[in-house]
Structure 1
Amino acid sequence: MHKFITRSAVGAITLAGAVALSGCEVPSHSSMAGMGDRATPSGVASTEPTSVVDWSHAHGVHVTPDGATVLVATHEGLIDYSKGRPERIGSANDYMGFTGGGATLYASGHPGTGSNLPDPLGLIGSTDTGRTWVDLSRQGESDFHALTVTRGGLVGFDGTLLTTRDLKTWTRATNQIRPYALAGRPDTPVVLATTEDGLRRSTDAGRTWTTVPNAPLVQFAALSGPSTAVGVAPDGTVHTSTDAGQTWKQAGTVPEPVQAMTATEVGGQIQVWAVTGSGIQRSPDGGNTFNPYTGKAGQ
């Protein structure tokens, strides 16, 4: 079996404001901002994007459905590709786990050089596109290398698979698996997990898991809609699903090695966004064909 490329150290696709999460709510922008007393003064804030020439590796990507915001989480900080030319937003933290949507982003990893933030970062959140971050939970405890949001809360993997309904208290998942990537959405309890032993699927927001029979071995996955999913195999082959990851069909191939990916959907049309060493490859047709993303309308 093809083993995944190991990350150099151990990514909610859409979350706009306060989302009802099966009996609980993710804190609103205003309440989250009130939790940021420790994070903001410690050097994580930056009011304007700064140019960045290069970054070494990406661990996550977030794209709004309209394609207006394209953010890549790297070892050297959060990189904004919205205008095609990469610019760093905020401090140069090492983001290992990253997920987000709307006006809310979640991340984990390690603080950048010169920062006095806890190491590891635990779970942090941003409501200003990554310019500033607030501490949410597990500061100094968790470096989440896989992170996603679901209708039942967040799911994260820091060596242990954990779930949270309130962004503060975390519980061990009943089935302990070791995901390379997690894929969920706030409008469904379905979560997909890519592992070296095959695709796993949860229908209860990450608490219990089952193996998906006959699924392709994918290294990356994303839910572009409540019932549509995209997976990318270690060799770049793209697979798509119209039943939330239960059955799959093969599409095209990403032309370069993939470091992170996501998928969006507008009007029933799936777009796939794959981060590679040269930038971003974008597919406007559900993963059948790819072209370099330039940040221009229609590209």
Structure 2
Amino acid sequence: MKSFKVVAGVLALAIVASGCSSTKEAGSGEKRIEKGFRAEHLHGIAYAADETIYITTHEGMLATQNGGMEWTMKGNYDFDFMGFNVMSDGSMITSGHPGKASSLLNPLGVMVSENNGEEWESESLLGKVDFHILTANYSNPSVIYGINQMDSGNYKTGIYKSMDKGKEWERIDSEGLPNDLHQIYTLISSPDDENSLLAGTSNGVMQSYDGGESWEVTDSSRLITAVGVISGSKQLVSYSITNRESGIMSSGDFGKTWTYHGLDLGEDAVAYIGIHPIVPDKMVVATFENTVLSSKDGGGKWTTLLDKGAIQ
């Protein structure tokens, strides 16, 4: 059990860390990563159907296909990946900053990969926006929401929405959200209603039923730091913190009620959740302190893959 104040300290540190031409770039294959390598600033995680686990970082994308026994760096080795999401059709989307070896404009806007991070192509907003949160609707991946947490030229802070898989974006005139959008930690749209949104914020759980225009606090006693959805269902999986318990929890009614599964991380918390698209009992999480854990039984038992960023 932990209080919101303890976790707020972890989240604040994570926010500080995350603050730190051609329109297409091909990677140079894979680079083997040896034991002892330490990743800094994990910014996303995914669990693919072929058992590959992808982790986006401040310095590129890591991948392992054998449960952490061997690791490689994928594609563009030094991208600073920020918002990252694997859509239900298998496409990857990201935002962030180009690396030193890149000729792309900064920030990256919205980048798309159709081959698991080997190549990235600019979809929109190159040199204009850095989305720290990107989330695609599971049933309709053409609908994507992005959170721009800092003003960037003509692009003001706010929630942006795309109806065509990231090509065109419109800023939503939202009411009710925290004034500082860094206080939004995670966002998801309902698999059966792309206009129903749930956000984990410093104010508690907030929801919108009109595509993000108006928001209300629906559970001020719960802090959600990460959330995902089980393939082919309406079941949400989150890392939730209340005054009674903290850990992986699931909800079949879009956040009205939650079932506890375990994994209390003490003063740490889960920042990102990846769920296997075929076997949902397989999941992987990345924490704010850069630890990566995997489970094969729906969250009962966990194996450490990265310990505070270090390959085991």
TM-score by shorter chain over 0.5: yes
Specify the alignment match of 1:49 in structure 2: 30
Equivalent runs, 1:143-154 vs 2, <5 Å:
143-150=130-137, 151=140, 153-154=143-144
Give secondary structure in 2 for the equivalent of 1:9: helix
Instruction: For 1:185 and 1:292, locate their aligned partners in 2 and report how far apart those are by CA, in whole Å.
Output: 30
Instruction: For 2:22 and 2:214, locate their aligned partners in 1 and report how far apart those are by CA, in whole Å.
Output: 34
Alpha-carbon shift at residue 106 of structure 1 (Å): 0.2
Specify the alignment match of 1:98 in structure 2: 84
Aligned partner of 1:137 among 109, 124, 127: 124
Instruction: For 2:248 and 2:159, locate their aligned partners in 1 and report how far apart those are by CA, in whole Å.
Output: 26
Specify the alignment match of 1:192 in structure 2: 198
Q: Using structure 2 for the length normalisation, give the TM-score.
A: 0.74
* Bigger mean CA deviation after superposition, 156-165 or 221-230: 221-230
Alpha-carbon shift at residue 169 of structure 1 (Å): 2.3
Q: Using structure 1 for the length normalisation, give the TM-score.
A: 0.77
Alpha-carbon shift at residue 279 of structure 1 (Å): 5.3
Alpha-carbon shift at residue 90 of structure 1 (Å): 1.2
Residue deviations 1:18-38 (CA, integer Å, cap 9, x gap)? xxxxxxxxxxxxxxxxxxx93
Aligned length: 263
Give secondary structure in 2 for the equivalent of 1:133: strand
Give secondary structure in 1 for the equivalent of 2:105: coil
Structure 1 position 81 matched with structure 2 position 53: no
Specify the alignment match of 1:223 in structure 2: 229
Instruction: For 2:47 and 2:171, locate their aligned partners in 1 and report how far apart those are by CA, in whole Å.
Output: 29
Identical residues among aligned pairs (%): 25
Unaligned residue ranges in structure 2 (runs of 5+): 150-157, 307-312
Specify the alignment match of 2:18 in structure 1: 9
Equivalent runs, 1:49-68 vs 2, <5 Å:
49-52=30-33, 53-64=37-48, 66=49, 68=51
**Alignment check: 8 A CA contact 1:107 1:124 kept:** yes
Specify the alignment match of 2:255 in structure 1: 245
**Alignment check: 8 A CA contact 1:254 1:290 kept:** no
Instruction: For 2:187 and 2:18, locate their aligned partners in 1 and report how far apart those are by CA, in whole Å.
Output: 16
Q: What amino acid is the match of 2:253?
A: D
Say if 1:205 and 1:125 are closer, same or farther in 2 by CA, change over 3 A.
farther
Residue deviations 1:157-208 (CA, integer Å, cap 9, x gap)? 1122111112232222242533222234766524332111111234455454
Alpha-carbon shift at residue 290 of structure 1 (Å): 1.7
Q: What amino acid is the match of 1:165?
A: M
Alpha-carbon shift at residue 115 of structure 1 (Å): 1.3
Say if 1:131 and 1:236 are closer, same or farther in 2 by CA, change over 3 A.
farther
Specify the alignment match of 2:22 in structure 1: 38
Say if 1:278 and 1:73 are closer, same or farther in 2 by CA, change over 3 A.
closer
Residue deviations 1:52-87 (CA, integer Å, cap 9, x gap)? 3331121111112x3522111100111112232221
Equivalent runs, 1:13-24 vs 2, <5 Å:
none
Instruction: For 1:215 and 1:286, locate their aligned partners in 2 and report how far apart those are by CA, in whole Å.
Output: 25
Residue deviations 1:71-128 (CA, integer Å, cap 9, x gap)? 1110011111223222110111000110014431000000011212111100010101
**Alignment check: 8 A CA contact 2:191 2:234 kept:** no
Give secondary structure in 2 for the equivalent of 1:5: helix
Q: What amino acid is the match of 1:271?
A: K
Instruction: For 1:62 and 1:185, locate their aligned partners in 2 and report how far apart those are by CA, in whole Å.
Output: 19
Say if 1:95 and 1:71 are closer, same or farther in 2 by CA, change over 3 A.
same
Instruction: For 2:273 and 2:124, locate their aligned partners in 1 and report how far apart those are by CA, in whole Å.
Output: 26
Specify the alignment match of 1:272 in structure 2: 283
Instruction: For 1:76 and 1:254, locate their aligned partners in 2 and report how far apart those are by CA, in whole Å.
Output: 28
Structure 1 position 123 matched with structure 2 position 121: no
Q: What amino acid is the match of 2:285?
A: A
Specify the alignment match of 1:27 in structure 2: none
**Alignment check: 8 A CA contact 1:201 1:245 kept:** no
Aligned partner of 1:114 among 95, 101, 109: 101
Specify the alignment match of 1:24 in structure 2: none
Say if 1:172 and 1:115 are closer, same or farther in 2 by CA, change over 3 A.
same
Specify the alignment match of 1:163 in structure 2: 161
Specify the alignment match of 1:34 in structure 2: none
**Alignment check: 8 A CA contact 1:255 1:290 kept:** no
Instruction: For 1:99 and 1:270, locate their aligned partners in 2 and report how far apart those are by CA, in whole Å.
Output: 20
